[in-house]
Structure 1
């Protein structure tokens, strides 16, 4: 296994239950618990769906732009050994490409794009499936 580069996000607390994650480029996202915010679990589902969607979009939109590109990620929250975990993670794509030769070419790429994403290029879902350990450190 090779390490191509390190990814890093820093997080700051804005108020109780409200946090801001910032990447190295300075882009940020507010999340947390409460009305109008995505929870950390929802962000993880969005990351899984988003990672593969970027792969799929790149492989199909070079042929034609989709008329519809909607993705739903869902999971069941369960308790294992006294701790919370997600099970049955499912990502579903609702895609519509225009009629015609370019739309046919895009539709024909969907299966291969999703397979490539799952097996090679989607770091997020591959990491979840691999069960990579997470280390917590107090600094």
Structure 2
């Protein structure tokens, strides 16, 4: 088994109460939070799951034909039990259409395999969620244990 690790990070900056800007190492930014016109953290997670697999599926199908429609919807049920929240029943629906003809047929035939490859191997986000990887919340100035 070959194992490699490449660090990934974002830095979150508070813009105002409930509004934040995430910045990655390349300087790309995304504004989010609570409030009208903003995606919330749960929606960002759903977008990350859908986006990760979309990138995979797009790459594997659009080599054959450019899609006429590529729409992906991620949904989940937010469940509260004993005051603790979690998402259940996460589902990512791919609504894809390709042009008629040989190239479109080739792209359509690739969809199932592309979905499986993304889910089983390539999509870091959904694989991490399914794997139940622990998350540590650490205070910057706190003594390290």
> Which TM-score bucket, shorter chain as reference?
over 0.9
Partner of 1:22: 23
* 1:81 CA drift (Å): 4.4
Instruction: Describe the SS at the equivalent of 1:119.
Output: helix
Unmatched tracts of structure 2, length 5 or more: 141-145
Q: 1:61-84, CA deviations, whole angstroms, 9 ceiling, x for partnerless residues? A: 011100000000000000234310
Instruction: Describe the SS at the equivalent of 1:58.
Output: helix
Q: Determine the C-alpha separation between the residues in 1 that align with 2:117 and 2:43.
A: 24
Q: Determine the C-alpha separation between the residues in 1 that align with 2:4 and 2:31.
A: 29
Structure 1's consecutive aligned runs of 4 or more residues displaced over 2 angstroms after TM superposition are: 1-4
**Greater CA drift, 109-118 or 78-87:** 78-87
Alignment of 1:69-88 (within 5 A): 69-88=70-89
Q: Determine the C-alpha separation between the residues in 1 that align with 2:136 and 2:7.
A: 15
Alignment of 1:35-54 (within 5 A): 35-54=36-55
Q: Determine the C-alpha separation between the residues in 2 that align with 1:37 and 1:97.
A: 32
Unmatched tracts of structure 1, length 5 or more: none
Partner of 2:122: 121
Q: Determine the C-alpha separation between the residues in 1 that align with 2:6 and 2:81.
A: 33
Instruction: Describe the SS at the equivalent of 1:48.
Output: helix
Q: Determine the C-alpha separation between the residues in 1 that align with 2:18 and 2:77.
A: 23
Partner of 2:106: 105
Q: Determine the C-alpha separation between the residues in 2 that align with 1:44 and 1:73.
A: 9
Q: What TM-score, normalized by structure 1, do the two folds share? A: 0.97
Q: 1:23-47, CA deviations, whole angstroms, 9 ceiling, x for partnerless residues? A: 0000000000000000000000000
Cα root mean square deviation, aligned: 1.0
Partner of 1:58: 59
